[in-house]
Structures are given as C-alpha cells and as structure tokens.
Structure 1
C-alpha cells in the first residue's frame, strides 16, 4: 500500500478474498481494508461453490492510519 498510495498515486486499492479465508480477512481489516460486498458462489469447487468478499481501502483512509501510528524509532 505504501507503493500504491505514495509512489503510484492511487486513490483506491481493492482485493477479493474467499469467504472461508477468515484469517486473511482479519489481516486485511487490521490493515484498514473494509468489506464492500460479497460475490456469492463465484468459484466452483469439488464440493460446491465458494463466495468472494470484495474489500478495499481508499487513500485518505490509508493516510489517516499512517498518521495515527506511533513513531517507529523514537529519537533519544
């Protein structure tokens, strides 16, 4: 996201994650991504269908998170 927002000047970064991948969804949410919707039964598998969550983060949300982080290496 550092490269996307700072260097490439993107306004939005999005992704899709399978509904059963709860660990990834928690990780993305911790990074600031928000769930926008679900693509129901988007992929066929051997045992049925998998759904996908659409998630995104906008540049202002990213910069807000960056500005609220404590300094990494405090000066002494």
Structure 2
C-alpha cells in the first residue's frame, strides 16, 4: 500500500523511537499522540520485534487507528491516526 502525495502531506508529526527500548517506546508514542488533535496522523519509525508487536497493539487498544505499517529491512514505519 502506498500513500499519494496528498496523503503524505497529511502527516502532522514524525517520531523516531529506533533507539528506545520497551516500555519507553510506547511512552514516547503516547506522549506524541497526547499532544495532537483527534484525526491527526503520527508517523513512527521503530526497530525491533517487541516495539513492532506492542506499539500498534497498544495504540489500537487506546482508540487510535493503525493506518499503515511498512518495513525497509532496517526499521519499520508505522502510521497512526489519533482517535477522538
């Protein structure tokens, strides 16, 4: 799945948590989402199996939408839309 140029421009914030370890990975994501308005999109760059498993699951449990997940072999990009 690929985003159009217009969809890419809808990303309000980027967050790189590739150097963080759990549980700080989701703590950083949650703090970023808390500072955003409902409907805004956060793009998160993460690395490792544990954050890849936990961040999308926990975000969805808290009412946020996981829009897309894409790996480049080194890291994974995750697009989250803040829930209301």
Q: TM-score range by the shorter chain?
A: 0.3 to 0.5
Is the strand fraction higher in 1 or 2? Answer: 1
Q: TM-score, normalised by structure 2?
A: 0.40
